[in-house]
Amino acid sequence: MDFEWVAIAQGDVTWISLAFLLGFLASLVRLPPLVGFLATGFLLNYLGIVSGEILQKLADLGITLLLFTVGLKLNLKMLIRPQVWSVAALHITIVIAFFGATIFALALMGAPLFSGLDLRLSLMLAFTLSFSSTVFVVKLLEEKGEMNSLHGRIAIGILIMQDLAAVIFIAASTGKLPSLWAPLLFALIPLRPLFHRVLQKTGHGELLVLYGLVLALGGAELFELGGVKDDLGALFMGILISTHPKSNEMAKSMLSFKDLFLLGFFLSIGMSGQLSQEALIIGLLLTPFIFLKSAFIFPLMTCFKLRARTSLLATLNLTNFSEFGLIVASIGVTNGWMDNEWLAVIAIALSLSFVIAAPLNNNDDRIYSRFRDFWLRFQRRQRLPDDMLLETLGATIAVFGMGRVGSGAYDRMREFHGDTVVGIDFDDELIKKHQSMGRKVLYGDPSDADFWDKIEQNHDIELVMLALPNLEANLDALEHLRKISFPGRVAATARYPDEATILQQSGATAVFNIYTEAGAGFADHVEAQNQT
């Protein structure tokens, strides 16, 4: 990969400014900024501006860094669970069969653009529509702080299986097979202890970020040399160091770089293909297919003993089309199998699926709560051990979110109140770590309406402490507390003064500003030490 274009890209501010403007406008109406970025791409396309090499390489680098950070957080045990690989395999089979038959029927009826598609091409087009976007889903889960939730891990596992299927298809379609040197890539596995030692020595500053870039881009380059898709190299390198204690810190330190480069990805989607009225109409007609995909996958998940809520949230995560559709369509266009307008059709359907999926995912708990009786009809009596409702074990103080702030709050409250304190989190690996240290930490999701029903029916909790990863999660928990008329006190954490005001207006009886209060706590600690 040649990255000399970075210096040139800094001078091109036109599309960056336009992307900022439309992204900002999208955020004002409570849509993710990426919706504005997609709109920017289509506007540039309409104005006749062609996607250049700089923009494409920005997009490629963004995807590479994204898959590297996915690898940093990926639990390989999740991929071998039947709720992941079986659901993924069954779903893609059902979708291809149903969508393929529908598209072929449209071809037989002579519908515009569809005419001329035989059964093989109809199935290939159905294959492109069967996937969901890894980039989009990971971005949404990160923004909501739900990457480590059960529904988030299930969704990511299914996406990884889909991506592997897409890579195999692309390799077979292009006739590009791995080189004879590809098996040597497995030699990276014994080097994992070396990668870990170097990571331990990088500190917490710019060297940590630079080392992450070296691993991501180096892994991508090695896999490309071996004739394997380069993005898988970044994913593989992330997995190799995912068990290191600093892997999460590395993922957070690279967040801004990844988000910046992903801007190129979302812009490039809107600039794909040649826009026409016919392409727009067909793209609009294909968009509702995302709901058919959801209708197929939701009952599959409940059949594998997942709760209705977990299944619904994972389903909503996957209610979109994938960027792999553009790649597969471009192969069809290059080989002369389909018209060039299909690129624009797929780009329009893909973009509209993002626009629809963004508000659906932002309101997923409201959708579940409002139609809960309907969703529960699909739920099996027997459920997975890590998808059961929580018992509070007679605790009077509950700390939600057992990260660094939550852990500190738990330990301090336990000093004052003994074993009446319980910690609650939805990251099962983190829960096991806390339990091994003697903390009473249980699995639970404070945005889960079923969880609050259980709390309402049987609990002794008098104080709730919200140390959740972002403002939206804290607000969701406060809303559920209001719905059950929780009579106790509620304390919440904030990062900025405006967040503190919003939390107080939403019902928090006390708000702790992490940054300003930490300084006061530090001073109190020093004074206490001086007095002793």
What is d(CA 276, CA 279) in angstroms, rounded to the nearest whole number? 5
With respect to residue 280, please indicate whether it lies within any of the assigned structural domains: no
Q: What token pair was written down for 468?
A: 């959740």
pLDDT digits (tens, 9 = 90+) for 18-62: 888 988 998 887 777 877 887 888 888 777 776 666 777 777 888
Please write the tens of the pLDDT for every residue from 221-265. 988 888 777 878 888 898 888 888 888 788 878 877 777 777 777
| Residue 18 belongs to a domain | no
Indicate if 320 and 416 belong to the same structural domain.
no
In this structure, are 154 and 85 located in the same domain? yes
Q: How many beta carbons lie within 10 A of that of residue 394, not counting itself?
A: 12
Do 320 and 426 reside in the same domain of the chain? no
User: Total domain count for the chain?
Assistant: 2
In a domain, 295, yes or no: yes
Per-residue pLDDT of the chain (532 residues; tens, 9 = 90+): 454 444 444 446 677 788 889 889 988 877 778 778 878 888 887 777 766 667 777 778 887 887 788 788 777 777 788 888 899 999 999 999 999 999 999 888 888 778 878 888 889 889 989 989 887 888 888 777 777 778 888 998 899 888 778 777 766 665 566 777 778 888 888 998 999 999 888 887 788 889 989 999 999 898 888 877 787 888 889 888 888 888 878 887 887 777 777 777 778 777 766 677 888 888 899 999 999 999 999 999 999 888 888 899 999 999 999 877 777 777 777 777 777 788 888 888 888 898 899 889 988 888 988 898 899 899 887 766 655 656 666 788 889 988 888 888 899 888 888 888 989 887 877 888 898 898 988 887 776 666 666 665 556 788 899 988 788 888 888 887 887 778 888 999 888 888 888 888 888 888 888 777 666 666 665 666 666 5
C-alpha to C-alpha distance for 329 and 348, rounded to whole angstroms: 13
Quick one: 296 and 444 in the same domain? Answer: no
Q: What is the distance in angstroms between the CA of the first residue and the CA of the last residue of the chain?
A: 60
Is residue 39 in a domain?
no
**Residue 251 forms part of a structural domain:** yes
Q: Which residues contact 259 (CB under 8 A, 6 or more apart)?
A: 139
Residue 527 counted as domain residue: yes
Closest CA to 330 of 353, 358, 356, 350: 350
Task: Write the CATH number for 204.
Answer: 1.20.1530.20
Residue 75's SS3 state is coil
Q: Please provide the DSSP assignment of 228-285 as one string.
A: S-HHHHHHHHHHHTTTSTTHHHHHHHTHHHHHHHHHHHHHHHHTSS---HHHHHHHHH
- 187-219 exposure pattern, b = at least 16 Cβ within 10 A, e = fewer: ebeeeeeebbeebeebeeeeebbebbbebbbeb
Q: Both 299 and 428 in a single domain?
A: no
Are the beta carbons of 71 and 236 closer than 8 angstroms? yes
Both 327 and 423 in a single domain? no
180: which 2 tokens?
A: 């004879």
Q: Which amino acid is at 302?
A: T
What pLDDT is stored for residue 11 in this prediction? 42
Question: Among 299, 314, 339, where does a domain finish?
Answer: 339
In terms of domains, do 393 and 334 share one? no
Look at residue 42 in the predicted model and tell me its pLDDT. Answer: 81
| Listed residue (240, 92, 234) closest to 169, CA to CA | 92
Distances (CA, A) of 272 to 44, 285, 329, 331, 334: 11, 18, 11, 13, 14
Query: What does the alpha-carbon distance between residue 308 and residue 297 come to, in Å, rounded to a whole number?
Result: 12
Out of 297, 321, 339, pick the residue that ends a domain: 339
Q: What is the CATH number of the domain that holds 511?
A: 3.40.50.720
Q: Are residues 437 and 527 in the same domain?
A: yes
400 lies in the same domain as 519 = yes
Residue 349: inside a domain: no
Question: Which residue range forms the structural domain that includes residue 295?
Answer: 53-266+286-339
User: Given this model, what pLDDT does residue 91 score?
Assistant: 94
CA dihedral 459, 461, 462, 467 (to 10 degrees): -140
Residue 359: inside a domain, yes or no?
A: no
- Same domain flag for 333 and 407: no
Residue 521: other Cβ atoms inside 10 A = 13
Do residues 148 and 248 both lie within one domain? yes
Is residue 326 domain-shared with residue 406, that is, in the same domain? no
